[in-house]
Chain A
Amino acid sequence: MSSVSNDVAGAREPRDPLVSAMTVVRGLHQFLNLGVAQLDASVRESDAQVDKIAQCLAAISSDLQQLEARARAEPAAKCQDLAASIRGSVQGAVKALQFYDKLIQRLQHVRAGLAIPADATPDPAATAAVDWNGILDQVRARYSMVEERVLFDFMMRGLRAEQMLKALQSLREASAPGELELF
């Protein structure tokens, strides 16, 4: 993989201790900003999906009550429309519940992204030896989702957390998950 950024000034061969220290501080600031954006994105997405699950469960509960009432009063065939409605709600819940898998993956990657620079800088006084571009390459290589890589690249462009989230929302709206692409 090619180096992810040329934006971090003096990252490849640090010479001046002051410049090196500033590079480390700037790098850590960027990482913290990325972590904030990743966690915000996870929380927002999780909230939205949990809300959908709650709506689906409410619909299932309501439909079941109607189904029980109809089953007592009407022929079984009349219950088919309600059964279809329940099936639709279950499918909606199944789709929404998949947020959990994505959430866990993303949090694992956030944790790894924070651990890599922390492990690389055990001694704050030895900042001259820190290879930031190497660290950044390691962090980016851990990501498995396009959204994560895009957020990372936004960080390298110096976007703030709110700007990253806005751009990420546009990316999500343009993507089409769930479609089967046959080779």
Chain B
Amino acid sequence: MSKRILAVDDSASMRHMVGVTLRAAGYEVIEASDGHEALEYARLHTVDLVLADVNMPRMDGITLVAQLRALPSYHLTPLLLLTTESSPQSKLQGKQAGATGWMVKPFHPELLATLERVLSGPVRAAARGN
């Protein structure tokens, strides 16, 4: 059974690019257009990994990460932020909110397709420490 990834971005083109890449790598991809929509989905379903933009209307990615970490079923889920932001302050905010990692756009498709290593044990353990 393929692993399910929740891709969150207010840009439809970015969601499409992420979706095309991950589906080609064999993942099931659920798309959400902002943090609020993603959180609604996450409250009702479980996913194996969340890949979220930072700057979004209604609820930004860092708030989404913090809200997801507060849900018992998402304590150990890898939560990655994919964003145009690359300032150390923003990364620190993401880390403090409980993010597992940070990727600056544009993403390399081949790298995104190797998320399997993020879904493996050691990285999930790292997320626990946040």
Stretch in B26-34, B40-48, B108-116 touching the partner: B108-116
Residues facing B in A159-183 (CB within 8 A) are 175-183
Asked if B74 CB lies within 8 Å of chain A CBs, one says no
**Number of A-B pairs whose CB atoms are under 8 Å?**
92
Cβ contact within 8 Å between A181 and B91: yes
Cβ contact within 8 Å between A101 and B102: no
Q: Closest CB of chain B to A38's CB: distance in Å?
A: 14
Residues of A within 8 A of B85 (CB): 144-146
Asked if A61 CB lies within 8 Å of chain B CBs, one says no
Give the residue of B24, B84, B108, B126 whose beta carbon is less than 8 angstroms from that of A145.
B84
Residues of A within 8 A of B126 (CB): 182-183
Asked if B77 CB lies within 8 Å of chain A CBs, one says no
Asked if A154 CB lies within 8 Å of chain B CBs, one says no
Cβ contact within 8 Å between B17 and A178: no
Residues of B within 8 A of A181 (CB): 91, 101-103
Cβ contact within 8 Å between B103 and A105: no
| B contact residues vs A (CB 8 Å cutoff) | 9, 11, 13-14, 17, 20-21, 24, 54-55, 80, 83-87, 91, 94-95, 99-111, 118, 123, 126, 130
| A contact residues vs B (CB 8 Å cutoff) | 87, 90-91, 94-102, 104-105, 144-146, 149, 175-183
